[in-house]
Amino acid sequence: MRGGRADAAGGRAPATRAHDPELVDLAARLVAIDSANPDLDPAGAGEVALAHALRDRLIASGFKTTLMGPGARPSLVARKPGRGGGRTLLLSGHLDTVGVRTYADGPFSPRMDGDQLWGRGAYDMKGGLAAGVLAAERATAGDGLAGDVVLAFAADEEFGSMGTEAVLASLDAAEIDGALVLEPTGLQLGVAHRGFAWFALEVHGRAAHGSQPEQGVDAIAGMLRLVAALDADPAPCAPEQGHPLLGPSTLRVATLEGGVDPATVAPHCRATIERRTLPGETPAVVRAALEATLARAAGSDVSFQLTELVSRPAFEAPDGSAVVAAVDRAALAEAGALPDRRGDPWWTEAALFADAGIDVALYGPAGGGAHADAEWLDLPSAATHARVLERVLREFCG
């Protein structure tokens, strides 16, 4: 999970607190493999060992597999073809974790503590990978299903999403009838999340000796004026009405730098601005709103330039989603209650699947410590997660 995600261990308690020994064993084996993203931690091993371990297992289970992307940073697609006449469901997850430089104790030495499995990636998201693999193997055993089951386990989710972009480029989205992203959701159904857009704001001034500031144009003073305007009047840049699950969006200045030395009027100042977006908002609309607010504050004496750096779309499951309905029915049968709906302020790769026209939602286990110095997976919820996924696959692809 990416984009400033906070910990979210909540969710409806499963109907049973029983463990799934096969899932515990597989999740622990995955945690023991270092797959830390090297773009976040230069000492990270990357995804290659984990991708090959999962590929070998899935080949042994009868899946047709493909590795794609750079050799040191591969993504894995595995498919179990159906008998014909059924729908295709894709289960999505990411292979990489964040780094371990500050991890408290033995990040790749998984340990059990009651109902919890501890280790880097246990929660985000090797527990979800283990549940997806087991559910797919169990659902397709014997005569299999009518439709295809596809597992797409991508590299680089925690940084640039190059893996999922490569996966989507390799698939015919029209042949995928639905997808579930297995990020941890506490056994709630993730049906919406925010997107984001990052911008560089540059103010241009003119250098002069600090003892004669009237001979220059102070870029820092101009920047402070623009930042104050964004702070005082954020409404045009972040709709106050918000979203029923996501609330209002946010706008903040993330970095600020400028000036040359204490004796010189600053000829340049640069800020980065983060705007979290809501479903339906586009980077172009957001940029236009920002530029209008900045232009009013700048007047004729502050020269500025706004440049989009990176943006990712927000996500919202469509009305009448067949994937959401299938999870509802399976969770009711396995856990005794419909899963709560949730909207998240952070970004996930569900938005990339939705942008490709695929019916998608998020559903995963409970736990805690995402991106933190210690991380754990709630094992009974992971067992429920695997059972619900197996039932979803049998119904959706059957």
The model's confidence at residue 17, banded by pLDDT at 50, 70 and 90, is low
Q: How confident is the model at residue 58 (pLDDT cuts 50, 70, 90)?
A: very high
Q: Is the pLDDT of residue 241 over 90?
A: no
Handedness of CA 342, 365, 126, 66 (dihedral sign): negative
pLDDT, position 113: 95
The secondary structure of residue 347, as a DSSP letter, is B
Q: Which of 7-21, 70-84, 265-279, 366-380 has the lowest mean pLDDT?
A: 7-21
Residue 287 CB neighbours (<10 A): 18
246: β partners:
none
Rounded to whole angstroms, the Cα distance separating 347 from 279 reads 12
Does 10 score more than 50 pLDDT? no
The confidence band for 233, taking pLDDT boundaries of 50, 70 and 90, is confident
Domains and CATH numbers, the chain: 21-193+314-397 (3.40.630.10), 195-312 (3.30.70.360)
Q: Residue 1 — pLDDT band, cuts 50, 70, 90?
A: low
Give the confidence band of 104 by pLDDT, cuts at 50, 70, 90: confident
Largest CA distance in the chain: 85
Instruction: Kindly indicate the confidence band of residue 234, based on its pLDDT and cuts at 50, 70 and 90.
Output: confident
Name which of 269, 267, 270, 271 is nearest 210 in CA terms.
Answer: 267
Beta carbons of 365 and 115 less than 8 angstroms apart: no
* Per-residue model confidence (pLDDT) at position 9: 44
**pTM for the whole thing?**
0.90
The yes-or-no verdict on residue 240 having pLDDT over 80 is no
Decide if pLDDT at 8 tops 60.
no
Q: Which two tokens stand for residue 136?
A: 């797919």
Structure-block tokens of residue 124: 């985000």
pLDDT tops 90 at residue 56: yes
β pairing state of 116-118 and 376-378: antiparallel
pLDDT in tens, 258-270: 999 999 999 999 9
What span, in angstroms and rounded, lies between the C-alpha atoms of 145 and 191? 27
pLDDT of residue 105: 87
Average pLDDT, the chain: 94
**What pLDDT is recorded for position 2?**
60
pLDDT at 75: 98
Give the pLDDT mean for 17-27.
93
Over 70: is that where the pLDDT of 183 sits? yes
